[in-house]
Amino acid sequence: MRARDRDTAPRSRTVGFQVPAEIDQLSMVHALAETVLLVGGFALDEVTDLLLALDEVATALMLVATPDSLLDCSFTGADGVLGARVSTLAREPAALDEQSFGWHVVATLTDALRTDYAGFDAARGGYPTTVEFGWIRRLHGPTKS
């Protein structure tokens, strides 16, 4: 990249972490994500909504995870846009209940929501399952022309 292009290139940053995919780790997921979001410049009300969505997704994945699997979380953000990716290894194919109340909460709080179910991974002993969601900051007040 040329030096002059660095000033105009989109700036985004991805931060991720892994924890055991066990329900008692939900508070750790919440705390780590909260730190990432606050350091990323999101306001407290935005962080609250995003954490609620993440809590629902993480809980759903933890409940279907194979024993000893990890919950892999990553967040990519820039200029008021956030992309989140949360994945684990599930015991069954298409294991998430995407018709549940919690799932509707996630869909309401986010601007994009997608689940990817991969085929059985014999080496890992389960079904790779990934949930991605996106969120875009809403402008409040008058916009500049």
26-63 pLDDT per residue, tens = 999 999 999 988 888 888 988 999 999 999 999 999 99
Per-residue pLDDT, averaged over 12-34, amounts to 94
93: left (phi over 0), alpha (psi -120 to 50) or beta: beta
Say whether pLDDT at 122 is over 90: yes
Q: Give, in degrees to the nearest 5, the angle at Cα 85 between 17 and 104.
A: 125
| Average per-residue pLDDT for the chain | 89
86-109 pLDDT per residue, tens = 999 999 999 999 999 999 999 999
pTM here is: 0.85
Q: Which structure tokens are listed for 25? A: 């780790």
Domain extent listing, the chain: 14-136
| Fold for the domain defined by 14-136 | Heat Shock Protein 90 (3.30.565)
